Amino acid sequence: MDYTLNKKALEENGYSIIKSLYTESEIDQIATCIKHSQKKEESFLRTKDLFAIRQLNNVVPRLRELLFNVKLTNLLSELFDTKYFLTKAIYFDKPSTSNWFVGYHQDLSISVNKKIDIPGYTNWTFKRGQYGVQPPIEILQNTITLRVHLDETDKNNGALKVIPKSHLKNIYRPESIDWNIETEHVCAIEEGGVMLMKPLTLHASNKTTNGKRRRVIHLEFCNHELESSLNWQERFEL
C-alpha cells in the first residue's frame, strides 16, 4: 500500500489517519494477549477512569509479532528516510464510564535509562521507576507517534482532538493558543485503524459520554540517537 499521502499530511498538518491497518482478527489477538498478560507493579496503572501499561513492549513481549507485522513495518519504512526504532510503548484503556479527560498539550518527554547532566536535556522526572526528560527539539521533530485503535473511537469516547499545523510552531504552550486563528479537528478512527501524529502537535481528549470503552496502543518511533552515554529506556530494533 502507498502511504505517500499519509506522510505528506503528517508533515504538513502534524497528523494523519489510516482507516485500517489491522484486521478484526488481528485486533482480537492483540486484545487477548494484553488481557492475559502478567501484571508487573511498576508498569501497570489502574484507576477508576484509566487502565494503562507502560513499557508495553517489554512487559508483554508476545505482542511484538502481532503489532510489528509486515503492514506496520512497510508503513514505517515509508515514513522514515533512515533507520528507525521503537522508543516508547503504552497501552491505554479508557473505560466506558470514564470521567477522565486531557487538556491540550504536546508530548515533550522521552524515556531514558538514567539521569545525567547534558546541555539541552531539561525538565527531568522520575515516575514509577522510569526517568523522563525533555530532549532537544530536533529529537521531537524526528519522532512519529503511531496510535493503534482496538475500538471504534469518536468524540463521545475520547477520540483525540488536534490543532492542525501546531507542530510547526515548536514548543507551543496551551495557555497561548489563539482560538481566533486556530481550528480544532476531532480524529474519529475505526477499530483497527491507526492515527499518526507528531509529538509536537497539540492534542487533547474529552470525557466518555456514550458508554463505550476506548483502548489504544501508543507507540513512538525515532531515528535520532541521544547524546553521550544516555540511552533510550525502551529502545527496540524492529
Read off the pTM.
0.94
Q: What is the DSSP string of 96-118?
A: TT----EEEE----EEES-----
Write down all domains in the chain, each with its CATH number in brackets.
4-34+45-222 (2.60.120.620)
pLDDT tens-digit map of 54-98: 999 999 999 999 999 999 999 999 999 999 999 999 999 888 777
Q: Three cell numbers at 137?
A: 527539539
CB 57 within 8 A of CB 209: no
Query: Taking Cα atoms as reference points, which of 233, 226, 220, 227 lies closest to residue 85?
Result: 220
Q: Three cell numbers at 7?
A: 506522510
pLDDT tens-digit map of 98-149: 777 899 999 999 999 999 999 999 999 998 889 999 999 999 999 999 999 9
Write down the H helix ranges in the chain: 4-13, 24-35, 56-59, 64-67, 70-79, 137-141
| Cα–Cα distance measured from residue 230 to residue 129, given in angstroms and rounded to the nearest whole number | 16
| Cα–Cα distance measured from residue 80 to residue 230, given in angstroms and rounded to the nearest whole number | 23
- CA geometry: angle at 221 spanning 215 and 225, to 5°? 150
- How does DSSP classify residue 153? B
Beta bridge partners of 111: 132
